Structure 1
Amino acid sequence: MKTTTQVQLSLMMFLEFFIWGGWFVTLGSYLPNSLNTSGAEIAMAYSTQSWGAIIAPFIIGLIADRFFNAERILGILHLIGAFLMYQMANATDFGAFYPYVLGYMIAYMPTLALVNSVSFNQMNDPAKQFSFVRVFGTIGWIVAGLLISYAFHWDSEEGVSSGMLKNTFLMTAIASACLGVFSFTLPKTPPKVGKNQKVTISEILGLDAIKLLKDRNFLMFFLASILICIPLAFYYQHTNQFLSEIKVTDPTGKMTIGQASEVVFMLLLPFFFKKFGFKKTLLVGMLAWAVRYILFAYDNEGELAFMLIIGIALHGICYDFFFVSGQIYTDSKAGEKFKSAAQGLITLATYGLGMLIGFYVAGQITDANAYLKGDGHDWQSIWIFPAIFATVVMLLFAVFFKNEKIEYKE
C-alpha cells in the first residue's frame, strides 16, 4: 500500500470517528438541558443507533455491494448527514429533533462498514496494515472530546446551561461535509457482486450463520453478547449526563480517557488471550463492567473523585476484552464459509437488538430515579442496576460456557 493511500485512509478514519465522537457522547447532556427531554426520550434518541445498525446491512447489501463504488456512497451519505446534523442543531423541541437524528443514524451507520471496505480494498496485508489506519479513528474520537471540553468549553456548567452544546452538531456537520467531499477523492472501491446476482435477506442479515447457535457454547456467547449490551447502553447514554449533573469539570474531555485505554488494552489483548484463554478474557471484560458501575455509584466529587477516572479508564477492558475477543471467537467458530455471515449476525444481535433493549431499559431506570423536586437523579441507584445486571450475566456465562481453546490470529 502506497504512503499517500495510507495517509488518505487514515484521514478518512480520523474524520469518520471524529464525527461520531463529536456529538454522540454529549447527546445525553444536550437533550435534557436544551430540549427538556425525559430519560425515555433520551433513550429514543440513542436507540436510533440500533435502528441504523439494523437497516445498515440492507444499504450495504442491496446498494453498495451491487451498484455503486463504496467511496461514492460514503461521500453521498456523509453529505446527507451534514444536512441532517445542521437540522438537528436548529431543532427547538424533541418532536422536531427526533426525525433528523433517526435519519442521520440511518445514513451514518452504513458508513462504518464502508470505511472498512474502502480500507481493505487497498491493503495487500490487512492483518498488519489495518490497525495502523484504524487507530486514527480512535484518535479522531479523542480529539473531538478534547476540543469540546478544553478548547471550546461547550460542556462546562455555563456552556451546558446556555445551550452551547448545540455547537457540537454544527462542528459535526462541517466535519461530515468535509468527509463527504473528501470521499470522492479516495481510491476506487467497486461493487463486490454483480447487479444480477441474487442476494437474500438471510445473507444480508447474517442469518445464514444462525445454525451456529446449535453449538451450546456459541449460543451462550450469543445470549451473553445481547445481555451485556444492556449495561453497555447505560454508559453511552448517561455517563456524560451523569458527569455534568455532579459538576465534574470538562466531562467530555475526561471521557476520552476511555478511548485512550481502548488503544492500550487492544495491544495487551493478544497476550491476555493467549495466556488465559477466551472464557477468562470474556469474564474479565464482563467483570470490568460491574466494577465500573460500582465505582460510578459510590464516587463523590471530593476524596473519591479518582473512582470516576478509574471507571472511565476501564473502558478498554470492558470493550476490548468482551467485544473484540467475541469477534475473534466468532471468526474461529464460523469457518471460511460463514465468516462474514457470523460477524453480521453478532453485529445485528449486539448493536441492533442488544443495544435497542439496553437504551430502553436505561431510559426507564433513569426516569424512575429522577428527583421529584428539583433537577437531577439518584445516580447511585441508577448505576447499581447495570452493575448487578453485568454481574449476573458474568456468573451465568461462567457456569454454562464450557471452556474451549481458541487460536488468536494477529
Structure 2
Amino acid sequence: MGITSRLKVMSFLQYFIWGSWLVTLGSYMINTLDFTGANVGMVYSSKGLAAIIMPGIMGIIADKWLRAERAYMLCHLVCAGALLYATTVTDPQTMFWVMLVNAMAYMPTIALSNSVSYSCLAKAGQDPVTSFPPVRVFGTIGFIVAMWTVSLMGLELSSAQLYIASGASLLLALYALTLPKIPVAEKKANTTLVSKLGLDAFVLFKNPRMAIFFLFAMMLGAVLQITNVFGNPFLHDFARNPEFADSFVVKYPSILLSVSQMAEVGFILTIPFFLKRFGIKTVMLMS
C-alpha cells in the first residue's frame, strides 16, 4: 500500500472515532442518563479546554522527546481507555472528568496527524499543499461513516457508541505503529516556553484584520459546536410528539445532520478554486 493510501486510512480512522460519539453523546446523556442541558454543556466544554491547553504541550513533547507517530499512538491508547471507562459513567461530574481526559489525549492527535501526513508526503517527494486535501477528505468520510453506523444500528441513545469509538481508537493506536518514523525536530536556540506553547500568536491581535478574522472564526466555531452538541438531542425531542415519532428524521437524526459533513467533502476539494477565483474575504462572506 502506498504512503498516500496509508495516510488516508489514518485520516479515516482519526475522524471515525470522533464521528462515533461527538454528535450523539448529548442525546445519550439527556435521554438515557437524564442529564440536564447544563450538564451536557459542561461535559462538552472539556473539549474546548483541552483544545486550548494540550496541542502546545504535546507539540513540545513530540518535538523534544517523542517521535510524532509514537506520541500519536500513545494519545489514542489513552483515548481508547477513557472512552471505554465512559461507558460505565452515570453522573455528570464523573463524565466531565473522563471526557476531559479523552479530550486532552484526542485534541493533540489532530495536529499530530497533520504533521505525520505532511512529513510523509514531503519525504515521498509529493507537494503537501496539493496532496494533503485528498487525504484529509477521507477524515470527513470517516466521520460520516461513523455517524451513519451509529444511527442505522440504533445506538444514538446507547453507550455502545462509546464502545465503537474506543475500539476504533485502539485500532488506530496499533495502526500508528506501522507508520513511517518521523524524526524529532531539531532544537531551536533561544526558543521561549511562551513561543513553544504558541502563546506568542496572540500578538497577531494587534493587527485589526487578524483580530476580525479570529473573531469571525470564534463565532463560526461557536455555531458549529452548538449544532454538534444539541442538534441531535433537538431532533430526538420530536419523538415525544406522536405525529413525528415514526418519521425518518426522528429515527435517524445523525443521517440528516451528516449532510453538513457531506457538504464539507465537496467544499474542501473546491477551496483552492474558490480562493483563487474570489479571494479569502469573499469566501468568508459566502460562508
TM-score normalized with structure 2 length = 0.89
Structure 2 CA distance for aligned equivalents of residues 186 and 273 of structure 1 = 33
Structure 2 CA distance for aligned equivalents of residues 276 and 6 of structure 1 = 30
Does residue 1:178 correspond to 2:179, yes or no?
no
Choose from 82, 85, 92 the match for 1:84: 82
Structure 2 CA distance for aligned equivalents of residues 134 and 278 of structure 1 = 20
* Residue-pair matches, total: 273
> Does the aligned pair in 2 maintain the 1:61–1:199 contact within 8 Å?
no
Map 1:31-70 → 2, pairs under 5 A: 31-70=29-68
Structure 2 CA distance for aligned equivalents of residues 216 and 94 of structure 1 = 40
Amino acid at match of 2:177: F
1:214 Cα shift? 2.8
Does residue 1:284 correspond to 2:286, yes or no?
yes
Structure 1 CA distance for aligned equivalents of residues 229 and 116 of structure 2 = 30
| Local SS of the residue matching 2:179 | coil
> Does the aligned pair in 1 maintain the 2:72–2:112 contact within 8 Å?
yes
> Does the aligned pair in 2 maintain the 1:64–1:191 contact within 8 Å?
yes
| Local SS of the residue matching 1:185 | coil
Residue matched to 1:188: 181
Q: What's the RMSD between the two structures over aligned residues?
A: 1.8
Choose from 270, 275, 278 the match for 1:273: 275
| Local SS of the residue matching 1:147 | helix
1:200 Cα shift? 2.4
Structure 2 CA distance for aligned equivalents of residues 61 and 74 of structure 1 = 11
Q: Which has the larger radius of gyration?
A: 1
Amino acid at match of 2:252: D
> Does the aligned pair in 2 maintain the 1:31–1:42 contact within 8 Å?
yes
> Does the aligned pair in 2 maintain the 1:79–1:176 contact within 8 Å?
yes
Amino acid at match of 2:279: G
Relative to structure 1, the CA distance from residue 19 to residue 32 in structure 2 (aligned partners, 3 Å threshold; closer, same or farther) is same
Residue matched to 2:201: 209
> Does the aligned pair in 2 maintain the 1:83–1:173 contact within 8 Å?
yes
Choose from 17, 20, 23 the match for 1:22: 20
The C-alpha deviation readout for 1:209-262, integer Å capped at 9, x for no partner, is 333333222222222322333323211111011111123221112222111111
| Local SS of the residue matching 1:65 | helix
Structure 2 CA distance for aligned equivalents of residues 241 and 92 of structure 1 = 18
Choose from 137, 147, 150 the match for 2:149: 147
| Local SS of the residue matching 1:118 | helix
Could you list the runs of 5+ residues in structure 2 that have no partner in the other structure?
Answer: 240-249
| Local SS of the residue matching 1:49 | helix
Map 1:5-404 → 2, pairs under 5 A: 5-124=3-122, 125-150=127-152, 152-155=153-156, 160=157, 165-194=158-187, 199-247=191-239, 248-285=250-287
Could you list the runs of 5+ residues in structure 1 that have no partner in the other structure?
Answer: 286-410
Amino acid at match of 1:178: L
The C-alpha deviation readout for 1:143-200, integer Å capped at 9, x for no partner, is 10111122x1223xxxx3xxxx200000111111111111111110121133x85542
TM-score normalized with structure 1 length = 0.63
> Does the aligned pair in 2 maintain the 1:62–1:199 contact within 8 Å?
no
Relative to structure 1, the CA distance from residue 281 to residue 132 in structure 2 (aligned partners, 3 Å threshold; closer, same or farther) is closer
- The 4+ residue runs of structure 1 with deviation greater than 6 A are none
1:76 Cα shift? 1.0
Relative to structure 1, the CA distance from residue 179 to residue 198 in structure 2 (aligned partners, 3 Å threshold; closer, same or farther) is farther
1:42 Cα shift? 0.8
| Local SS of the residue matching 1:36 | coil
Structure 1 CA distance for aligned equivalents of residues 57 and 210 of structure 2 = 28
